[in-house]
Structure formats: structure tokens, C-alpha cells
Amino acid sequence: MAAFEDLIHARRDVRHFLCDPLDEAEVDRLLALAHSAPSVGLSQPWRFVRIATPALREALAAHVDEQVARAGKIYEGQEDRLYRSLKLHGLREAPALFAVYCDEGTETGHRLGAMTMPEARRYSCVMAIHTLWLAARTRGIGMGWVSILDPATVDAMLEVPPSWRCLGLLCLGYPTSEEATPELERRGWEHRTDWHSTVVTR
């Protein structure tokens, strides 16, 4: 109970990685655990694409850099300066890199729970990602989830089946530092709100 609370509070979105490689047996163990995440109708629709080619990694990093610049056009003045100074991904440095997909066409689970809210399958994939994130943290491994990208472009780069939908890129590796506070809060981008503000009663 207490250890789980500590884990939740210690987890960060990591963008600064050491170049030390990860033990491949440990990576396998993380993926196997992610596979025990909840899934709608027991559909287990998550698909992990391991990026193993240096050229593909660089193409993805260049794409995300371009999308970061494009998304930043909405900011002005001080906010623009702060945005430009943020490091938003570690795609070039992280020793292990994955793209995560949801197979929207899977027949596993016999469509139970996915008729009324088809997005429930993608939500299952998010829980697999979150399981991987927390499991990595229990082993001192950091993870960063990159969502500033154009899914169609990434799909084409990775040549995935048409029924697969992109949820983002995951960078995994040992972090350069362990931080108690989210980087976006330390840098003054946003601060955390009080939990009471998120609950209403009906």
C-alpha cells in the first residue's frame, strides 16, 4: 500500500536519459508485465513496435522536432520562450524506443465492451503503457511518452497494418536524475492542482 503510493509519487515523464544500455531480459520482463494490464473483453489489443533501426529512430526524432515547432506556434512572448526551452523528448538518446499501437480490428475478446465505446480498446492500451511505466520505475528505469506527432506520418514510417492506431512513442532508459517534482512544474510551465477540484457529486 505505502510502497505503491511511493511508486506513484516517484514516477516522472523522463526526457533526459543516460546512454547506458538496458538489459534485454529486463525489457522483456517489462513487456510481459504490461501484457497483464486490464483490457476490455480481455481483448489485449496493445501492439508494441520496437524501433531497432538507427535511421528510423532519427526519422522519428526529426518528425517530432518538426511537430513540436509547429504545435508551438500558438504561444507568444514569455510563454513562447519557455516552450522553446523545454526538452520534450529523448528520442535520440533513450536506449530503448517503442511505438505503441491499438489493433482496432482485433477479434480477441469477441468485441465485448467495444460495441458501445470502441475507444475502450485504446484505453486498454493506455493501461498497458501505464503498467510498463510503473514497472520500469520499480527497476530504476525512466520512461517518457511522446505524443507530439502526426499519427499518419508515423504509421507510414513504421508500415503498420491499417487497423492499427498510434498512441505515441515511448522512450525507455536510465534517467540522468531522479526528481520529486514534474519537469513542467520545475520549469514553471504548469503547477499541480488540488484533487478536490476534480470531484463533484450528483
Residues 49-88 that bind its own copies (CB under 8 A): 49-53, 56, 67, 71, 74-75, 79, 83, 88
122 binds its own copies (CB under 8 A): yes
Residues 154-173 that bind its own copies (CB under 8 A): 158-159, 167-168
Q: Which is nearer to its own copies, 17 or 129 (CB)?
A: 129
Which CB contacts under 8 angstroms, 24+ apart, belong to 113-121? 113/40, 113/41, 114/40, 114/41, 114/43, 120/40, 121/39, 121/40, 121/43, 121/45
Candidate residues 15, 17, 46, 172; the one interacting with its own copies per rule CB under 8 A:
46
Interface stretch with its own copies, choices 15-23, 112-120, 169-177 (CB under 8 A): 112-120
22 binds its own copies (CB under 8 A): no
36 binds its own copies (CB under 8 A): yes
Interface with its own copies (CB under 8 A), residue total 85
